[in-house]
Amino acid sequence: MFDIKKVVLFFLAFLVSLGANAEQILVNKPQSENDRRYDYPHQLLQMIFDETEDDYGRDYVAHSKLIMSRERMLLSLIDGELIHVVAEAPKKEWVEKLLVVRIPIRKGIQGYRLFFINKEDQASIDNITTLNDFMRMPTGSGAGWSTAMLMCEAGFEVVKGSNYEGLFDMLEKRRFLTFGRGGQRNFFRV
């Protein structure tokens, strides 16, 4: 007699066994469900795996496990247990301790900055006429981000936050007046 439970269990076991054959390459996990910064690099990596499977006979899947700070990410990349690859702007310490592949997968657009502001601050922004005026406006950045260091060195007034989503909240609460984001697709918070 036909038993639907056995068929479903067999089908589930079959699907799990298919997934078990793929070797997982661990990548960095976004800070939240609204964090779209890594969508493109992760999709690109998966596309590379898919396109080269016939040539190399291996099935790889990009998978993320844990949310990590930049400091923990560096340590995890060194030991290779919790993360294997990441697409980030390298700091000096990263270049010294890791194998860095210098391929600009975003074709330089990441270096262009779009600054989010509150609507209430539009008039102040409209009155800016010099770079020095703009540099005196407090701007937000992640504490471990390369851009935070570069902007501080350039003389910007930088307010640092430790949480990606929290930076948007800090902007909303006017802890800073601008929040620069790299030119990437899908970076708007929905």
10 shares its domain with 68: yes
Cβ–Cβ < 8 Å for 148, 141: yes
* Domain range enclosing 135: 111-182
Domain assignment present for residue 90? The answer is yes
16 shares its domain with 86: yes
Domain assignment present for residue 103? The answer is no
Find the angle CA(42)-CA(67)-CA(105) to the nearest 5 degrees: 25
Domain assignment present for residue 156? The answer is yes
Domain assignment present for residue 190? The answer is no
Residue where a domain stops, chosen among 97, 128, 159: 97
Tally of CB atoms within 10 A around 25:
16
Q: What stretches of the chain adopt beta strand conformation (E)? A: 23-27, 60-64, 113-116, 139-142, 158-161, 178-182
pLDDT at 23 over 50: yes
Structure tokens at 52: 């080269």
Q: Write the pLDDT tens digit of every residue in 154-163.
A: 999 999 998 8
Residue where a domain stops, chosen among 75, 97, 119: 97
41 shares its domain with 119: no
Select from 118, 125, 121, 105 the least CA-distant residue to 185.
Answer: 105
* Structure letter (DSSP) for residue 174: T
Q: Write the pLDDT tens digit of every residue in 50-60.
A: 888 888 777 88
Dihedral of CA atoms 79, 184, 149, 161 in degrees, nearest 10, equals: -80
CA distance linking residue 82 with residue 42, whole number of Å: 16
Specify the 3-state DSSP secondary structure of 161.
Answer: strand
Domain assignment present for residue 86? The answer is yes
Residues recorded for the chain: 190
Q: Give the number of domains in the chain.
A: 2
Select from 124, 118, 146 the least CA-distant residue to 136.
Answer: 124
Residue where a domain stops, chosen among 97, 131, 159: 97
Span 6-20, mean pLDDT? 38
84 shares its domain with 11: yes
pLDDT of residue 105: 80
Domain assignment present for residue 67? The answer is yes
43 shares its domain with 16: yes
122 shares its domain with 177: yes
pLDDT of residue 156: 95
